[in-house]
Amino acid sequence: MGKKVWMVLAAGAALAGPVMAQGAADAAQQLADDVKALPQGFFSGWAGNVSLGVTGSDGNTERFNFRASADGVRETDRNKTTFLAWYSYAKDDSATSENKAQALLNNDYLFDDSPWFAFSRAQLEYDEFQAWDTRLSLYGGAGRVLIDDDKTNLLGKVGVGALKEIGSDDTAWRGEGIITFELTHQISERQKLTAVLDIFPDLGDASHVRTRARAVWELAVDPETNMALRIGAEDRYDNDPSGNARKNDVDFFAMLTWAY
């Protein structure tokens, strides 16, 4: 090759080097972005709390009460998944007076730049002192963000589903609607209020309805250890309960909670 040809090749290589380097950098950045965009594992990205409360008395009346719960939330661009599970046990004068548990899993399917969303929900309940041993309910429907600002978030949901009681006289699936309001309000930097109201109308019997209302006040006690105090109440109402169960079943609780 002539001298001019070598000069042209050298100049081309000098120009191609930065271009190739930039291309490699762009490719590496694109790969990193693609990895970030991959769906995360279901068990990653969760944030929530583990709570524990114990009360008791000894003397003329012996009473022991234990309550534990765990909750969590996981948010992505397309989904907001939440769960709540708790267990409560009490003994009065050596006799078990309470033994019940509940687990709830909810997923909201989000739409781009829209206050509307779809949801699905599964709930499992156990209560030794009900006419049923275990109750399973499944729901799905639509929801809307009603309030969303720096301190307050309020959601409304409407859907349909089905309920099945295990260990009762009637173990067949029955249709049930669901109307839900979920409120979160940041009272101050250290205080937060959460409240949920669920209404479950029986789709086969218009006179039968169940409700569930839960309210929790939370106070940050030690930010360094992520410890907080929770005081709350939960009321489960059934206007036509099975067996000899009462219409209202109310729990009051105070627990220490640790965030994860």
Domain boundaries, the chain: 1-38, 45-259
Q: What is the predicted pLDDT for the residue at 60?
A: 72
pLDDT at residue 11, rounded to an integer? 47
Residue 7 host element (H or E): helix 3-37
CB 192, CB 157: distance < 8 Å: no
- Running along the chain, 260 residues long, what does each successive block of 10 average in pLDDT? 48 45 51 52 86 87 92 95 97 93 98 97 96 96 98 98 93 96 97 98 96 98 95 94 82 96
Specify the pLDDT at position 56. Answer: 87
What confidence score (pLDDT) does residue 13 get? 42
Cα-based torsion angle of the residue sequence 95, 57, 217, 50 in order, rounded to the nearest 10 degrees: -70
Predicted pLDDT at 57? 84
Cα–Cα distance between 10 and 229 in angstroms, integer?
72
pTM, two decimals, is 0.80
Question: Do 82 and 49 meet the contact criterion of CB atoms below 8 Å apart?
Answer: no
Whole-number pLDDT of residue 240: 86
* Domain 45-259 coded CATH 2.60.40.10: no
pLDDT given for residue 33 in this prediction = 60
